[in-house]
Amino acid sequence: MTLTQLEVFAAVARFAHVTKAAESLGITQSAASAAISALEKQYEIKLFNRVGRTIALSEAGEVFLEEANSVLERAQAAKRTIAALGGNTFGRLEIAASQTIANYWLPRRLAVFHDRYPGINLNISIGNTREVEKLVVASDADIGFVEGAIRSNDLNLDAVGFDELVMVVQARRWQPLGRGKGPVDLTSVPWVVREPGSGTRGVLEKLAEDEGLAWNDLNVVLELPSNEAVREAVEAGVGAAVLSRHVVESAIDAGSLRALPIDVPRRKFMMVRRRTAEPSDTEKALIDMVLKSVGPDRHLV
């Protein structure tokens, strides 16, 4: 039995999916399958039940998982100790980030972090704000980055950046008239929006609330699961959207989208951490780097 086999077993148990587990470990699906098969053959035991395309821990696998995780935790502790003795930081970070941050704000910062700490492996999960919040609360992510409002009281929040929101329409075809309190009558606009739980959708929800409108008062014609899909739909002339300038700036510059005058306040990019958890050395390294990049004027929430 090797540590690699234990790592594969634990990853497959966590994802309940061999391919996803292999991707998280940076190995091929066949290598992951071979590691599980070798364990099962060596000890003549079934660790997973396979029914069609689904996979789940067997009773024996449930018992073994606790021991495997214990061994892996001790192995990581040993690696951190010897790395510290050599003046290095070593380990693994599970990071969760909402789409705008993950696609536009975070990559350059993680590249700098990787150059500074090559011994820390980074695994990034992408979801909407609500999904990121759940991952951090459940300890399935060490650190999260979101741009929407957080509901849990179990998290520490640090403002680490700002995002400018703009309302956009197709540049050539769609020209709404302003008839409400602001330059645009929100109820007269066909909207393309993100899914519930998205921080980007939350901005439009707040705009409607400030106008004394319910969500159902808006003419939502299309709901899509990503910023890029929303942008493409708007470029196709489906309707209007409120999106991060990061997402639409190139399209505005190219002339395919037009920004409309609407009062959308800047929103904060927030780093979220469990309030009761003592950060590991790897977490401290990322936290310190991000906060130092913000500078002394950062707002603590």
Residue 136 — very low, low, confident or very high, per pLDDT cuts 50/70/90?
Answer: very high
Residue 279: what pLDDT? Answer: 86
Rg (CA), the chain: 23
Going from the C-alpha of 63 to that of each of 54, 214, 282, the distances in angstroms are 20, 50, 29
pLDDT at 142 over 50: yes
For 86-90, what is the mean pLDDT? 62
What domains does the chain contain, in order, with CATH numbers?
Answer: 3-85 (1.10.10.10), 91-162+268-294 (3.40.190.10), 165-264 (3.40.190.10)
- Spatial CA neighbour of 267 closest among 168, 212, 201: 201
Which of 24-33, 43-52, 77-86, 129-138 has the least mean pLDDT? 77-86
> Both tokens of residue 140?
């399935």
For 155-172, what is the mean pLDDT? 91
Residue 80: what pLDDT? Answer: 65
How many percent of the chain have pLDDT more than 70? 91
What is the SS3 string spanning 21-79?
Answer: HHHHHCCCHHHHHHHHHHHHHHHCCCCEEEECCEEEECHHHHHHHHHHHHHHHHHHHHH
What pLDDT, in 10s, does the model give residues 178-236? 444 456 789 989 999 999 989 899 999 999 999 999 999 999 999 999 999 999 999 99
For 123-140, what is the mean pLDDT? 92
